[in-house]
Amino acid sequence: MPKTAYDIHPDFARLPVINFRFGRLLLWLINGVSRLQRFFVRRSLRVELQKQRITRDAGSGFTVIRMTPPGLASPAPALLYYHGGGFAITYGGLHLKNCERYAIEAQCVVIFVEYRLAPKNPFPDAFNDCYRALEWTLEHAATLGIDPQRIAVGGDSAGGALAAGVAQRARDEQLVRLRAQLLVYPVLDNRCSTVSATDFVDVPIWNAVSNRNMWRTYLSRYANGTTPDYAAPAHGRLQDLPLSYVETAEFDPLRDEGLNYARALQALGTEVELNATSQTVHGFDAVAKSALTLDAMATRIAFLHRAFHEGPDTA
């Protein structure tokens, strides 16, 4: 079925159809462009940026960027944010701009995690970095000016998988009672067996072919059909998870797994805000000036503001 058969909004209908194969040369080129793009975006951000190095158990390390809006009162809530990119592509300017808005408009610190990337570093490397970033944030909450009782995790696409997996492990290990999880068109299920993950082979930006290739690359250390703990959050235990925001795009191979995850959480008693956007594709918020993008961003920010600033134990 050609993409012209889909009722995609005109703002997104001309975005390219790409079958992404995760070749090393292509990834090198894309990541180079992303690094150049974000270099210029960083110079225009209205938040204070501070890079901090986190040490892993093995002695190596990785970087997080602390984003603090001007005039933020301390101790402040914090959002640990994990960017998307199929577990293999580094973050771009869009991720920084969106997190700038989360920080300023939801009045929180954003801890932006530069985790390791596949194919060189398949699961569990990125996940371990993301979980270690949460541990580090809690260990240094006082010096970071962060309220440890008001911490959320969030991410888009592959970053949504990392956030949801971190939330599950934090619950299992009783590390912290997270305030919320913000999951934006999240990757959740490596079975790729839903209707959307099967049928949407020719939708713009991210399609079912790319989705299957992503999982093969990310889980390359494991036998085919194996699902290690926390890699694909749809397979995890879903009880006792925090207040959740789940956003889906209508013409996205990830749509159905997002809807299924939201409904499963609701059935187990978790409060969920489901934002099932219409006429959209995966990564639609790259078209920043679209009315649909502006509405989605406003909905995400309102959720974060409610999670951080409403309730009996807010500062």
Q: Cα separation of 218 and 305, whole Å?
A: 33
- The active-site residue out of 156, 252, 256, 285 is 252
Enclosing H/E stretch for 155? strand 146-156
Q: Cα separation of 244 and 205, whole Å?
A: 26
Longest Cα separation, the chain: 55
Q: Cα separation of 255 and 132, whole Å?
A: 29
Question: First-to-last CA distance in the chain?
Answer: 53
Question: What is the edge-to-edge ordering of all strands in the sheet holding 48-55?
Answer: 48-55, 61-68, 109-114, 76-82, 146-156, 180-184, 243-251, 272-281
- The active-site residue out of 9, 83, 95, 282 is 282
The amino acid at 119: P
157: annotated active-site residue: yes
Instruction: List Cα–Cα distances, 161 to 45, 84, 156, 211, 219, in angstroms.
Output: 27, 9, 8, 13, 13
Pairing of strands 109-114, 76-82: parallel
Count of residues making up the chain: 315
252: annotated active-site residue: yes
Q: Cα separation of 146 and 137, whole Å?
A: 8
- The active-site residue out of 157, 196, 210, 244 is 157
Burial grade of 259 (CB within 10 A; 0-12, 13-18, 19 or more): middle
Q: Which residues participate in catalysis according to the annotation?
A: 157, 252, 282
